[in-house]
Amino acid sequence: MAKLNNTVQLAHGGGGKEMNRLIKEVFYRAFDNPILRQEEDAAAINLSGNCAFTTDSFTVAPHFFAGGNIGKLAIAGTVNDLAMMGAEPQYLSCSFIIEEGYPLDDLKRIATTMADELHKSATRIVCGDTKVVPKGCADGVFINTTGVGRILYPDISVKNIKSGDAIIVSGDIGRHGAAILMAREGLTLESDLVSDCANLWPVVEQLIASNVPIHAMRDATRGGLAAVLNEWASASNVSIEIEEQAVPISDEVKGLCELYGFEPHDLANEGTFVLAVPQAQAAGILEIIQRYGHCEQAAIIGYVNDSHPGKVVLKTPWGSARFIDLPQGELLPRIC
Ligand code: MG
């Protein structure tokens, strides 16, 4: 078989020989599994009981950044949305929209990273699609992933948060948004800052196996911690009070926020989640989460009460307090 040209050509999306070769040499090689290998028009899968079902499209710019790339995001993003529903991520679909001229080596790197991220949970890509559009009609590569998984822990919901719950965040916030900002601005800052992008199923699986009570769970992606807490306060009609000092934030993220005038709690995360749990069990739950390398910074950051239903209150170390709103406008377009 002739070697592939070193960039993606329109013919690679044409449904013929070239497309067949691209799919086999890049995607089947990375994602190989018995269901995908059937090469049928649709994947035949076995689902039973209550399932969670989610979809997400990924358009991040640039495609490669400290701590990940668009492919790692495409797996982590969809797997994490299933995990946040207490569902074991089982099957994913994956569609690539590729701009003519995109380097094949980059596409292979992306596919390899996706495979590595898939292996962190027993999740398989079982169907997919490849389209190639003429130069100028897309920005390099866009990826859509859709996922289904079996719900192992039912009734996790934004409407389940109760007065007295503790709020836990699984790690220091804002690193994904800050890493994209750095990559886009060409900043290096001699910095160790990397995106938090990660597959959250292993830690969620451990929480479920430990049989701990979870009222709500959400990954703090676009809109960051501020969006999750506001969505929760509104959906459960409760007040969420956060201690500013308790929220873990790295010095690098603090520095970038000062430089650009951002609030760390508005910045996106891609491997950091927030939990609402009964206060009595919060310390034990925190201890389980902190066992995971990427969650060492996990902390209890506040509590739920009835003082200002629908509002999120940030209490400063000086005794003052202010409301945190949903982030407004588009801070950083194309972060995921
Ligand atoms: Mg989510």
Q: Give per-residue pLDDT as tens, 159-199.
A: 999 999 999 999 999 999 999 999 988 876 667 899 999 99
Contacts of 228 (CB under 8 A, 6+ apart): 218, 220, 274
User: How many C-beta neighbours within 10 Å does residue 36 have?
Assistant: 18
Give 96-137 pLDDT, tens digit per residue.
999 999 999 999 999 999 999 999 999 999 999 999 999 999
Measured distance CA(181)–CA(328) in Å, rounded: 18
CA 224 to ligand 1 center in whole angstroms: 10
Cα 78 to averaged position of ligand 1 atoms, centre (Å) = 8
Structural contact between residues 243 and 315, judged by C-beta atoms closer than 8 angstroms: yes
Q: Alpha-carbon distance 148 to 22, whole Å?
A: 26
Distance, CA of 325 to CA of 310 (rounded, Å): 10
- Gap from CA of 80 to ligand 1 centroid (Å): 7
The domain spans of the chain are 10-151, 158-323
Q: Any residues with CB less than 8 A from the CB of 281 and at least 6 apart, and which?
A: 212, 213
Helices (H), the chain: 17-22, 29-31, 70-83, 104-118, 175-185, 201-209, 224-236, 251-260, 279-290
What distance in angstroms lies between residue 228's CA and the mean position of ligand 1's atoms? 9
Q: Spell out the alpha helix ranges (H) of 57-160.
A: 70-83, 104-118
Per-residue model confidence (pLDDT) at position 1 = 43
Tell me the two tokens of residue 91. 């099957």
Cα separation, 242 vs 247, whole angstroms = 8
State residue 161's pLDDT score.
97
- pLDDT score, position 189: 62
- Looking at domain 158-323, which CATH architecture does it have? Alpha-Beta Complex (3.90)
The stretches in the chain having pLDDT less than 70 are 1-4, 188-190
Instruction: Return the CATH number of the domain spanning residue range 10-151.
Output: 3.30.1330.10
Cα(12) to centroid(ligand 1), Å? 33
Q: Which two tokens stand for residue 190?
A: 């001699």
**Ligand 1 midpoint to CA 172 (Å):** 17
Distance CA 265, CA 239 (A): 17
Q: What is the pTM of this model?
A: 0.95
Give residue 117's pLDDT: 97
**145 Cα–ligand 1 center, Å:** 13
What is the number of other CB atoms lying within 10 angstroms of the CB of residue 158? 17
Residues 239-267, buried b or exposed e (16+ Cβ, 10 A)? bbbbbbeebbbbebbeebbeeeebebbbb
Distance 220 CA to ligand 1 centre (A): 7
How far apart are the CA of 81 and the centre of ligand 1, in A? Answer: 5
Contact of 225 with 265, CB cutoff 8 Å: yes
